[in-house]
Chain A
Amino acid sequence: MASMKKSGVLEPVPIELLREPLVWFFAEHYRHRDVCKRLLVLLDTVDHDADALQAIHDFLESDLPIHIIDEEDDLFPLLRRRCEPDDHIENVLGMLSGEHANDMHDAQAVRTVIAKAISEERGLRCYSESRSVIEHFCSAQKRHIAMENAVVLPIARIRITESDLQSLGQRLAARRGLPDPFAETP
């Protein structure tokens, strides 16, 4: 049982990374990939792993929507203001925004099947709909994250200023009810 409990733990991103918000985004993306990996493992079993299922359910319910707000309300508008026409960022951001809307819809479908598995104490393999729903979600996430890591974050590193980074880190913290990561400690 100890190992099953351990399988449920989703490591949070260390809050110190809020001082380096672009690294925070990379770390969040790593977590998203980890969630997808775990989902695909759980998809292949009829055994009920309550902790693992609950952790993923919670992630999809809370962490993913906040991450999307981080990007939609902070990072993307900032890039729209800072990027140069030659960066050709608009089409990429426009496409990613569309994908964010789909992510929320797909995540809801995954949550529904996980909630069913939790309430009936069964594994995801017991449900015929789970494969298509989860595989679709995971492949879309993988593609989406690859684009953000390969295009958006590298451009952000070039265009976003030190003062932008500080303000971004403060906003990510405020959104999570965390203290200002740049506040001087007495």
Chain B
Amino acid sequence: MIESLLNNNMAWASARVRADSQFFRRLSEQQSPEYLWIGCSDSRVPANEIVGLDPGELFVHRNIANLAPPRDINFLSVLQYSVEVLKVRHIIVCGHYGCGGVRAALDTERRGLIDHWLQPVTELARAHADHLDTITDFEGRVNLTCELNVRAQVEYVGRNPFVADAWRRGQKLAVHGWIYSIRDGLLHDLELTIENARDVDALVRRRWSSNA
């Protein structure tokens, strides 16, 4: 029932005020999040909740398969606003194991427009076919591709002119690559953090796996 959502909202707002009477007043005055979250649209990955942050603490951009496409005006607007206006200190690219978008990119079924959106993931998988083919289980291949996709997006973000300009200005900004497991609620740091242009070059040069 759709009405239950409005009722839930009233209960939530009321509980918030009971816990902290100034919460909404503070929130309405300004937002100054330190983090930009680039995550998947999947309803099972609620960004704020899994990192224990309140409203106002995380600027969020979500799309299918947590992509950072260099020609997507929506993503670029979010990135520019968060870096240049909000001056976030950290950008987190967060994928998740079992991602339906990544799974769709790996199979041959045609779904329409989404196939075009997921084309970078399909191409990524093709580029790493030798590595992925060592995994006999399809879900295992999906999960490894989810990790590879996070890394590719971290590299895209690191090469983005808005980010490069921020570093050139001396702005403190780090880009991280994480992955979330819906099976246990745990985040994994994929150790892809970059904090300047040199880190991006080093990441691009770093091997992707022990057989890459």
Contacts and interface: CB of A to CB of B under 8 A. Distances in A.
A81 B191 contact: yes
B143 interface: yes
Contacts, number: 66
Contacts of A116: none
B136 interface: yes
A69 B140 contact: no
Interface string B128-152: 0001001111011001100100000
B181 A90 contact: no
Contacts of B181: 69, 73
Nearest to A82: B210
Q: Is the interface of B mostly helix, strand, loop or mixed?
A: loop
A88 interface: yes
A77 B137 contact: no
Give the interface centre of A79, A87, A91 by most chain B CB atoms within 10 Å.
A91
Interface string A72-91: 11100101110111011111
B97 to A, nearest CB: 7
Contacts of B190: 77, 81
Interface residues of B, number: 22
Given A94-B136, A97-B136, A101-B140, A171 B210 contact: no
A25 B208 CA distance: 26
Contacts of A81: 190-191, 209
Give the interface centre of A69, A81, A100 by most chain B CB atoms within 10 Å.
A81
Interface of B: 97, 131, 134-137, 139-140, 143-144, 147, 181, 183-184, 186, 188, 190-191, 207, 209-211
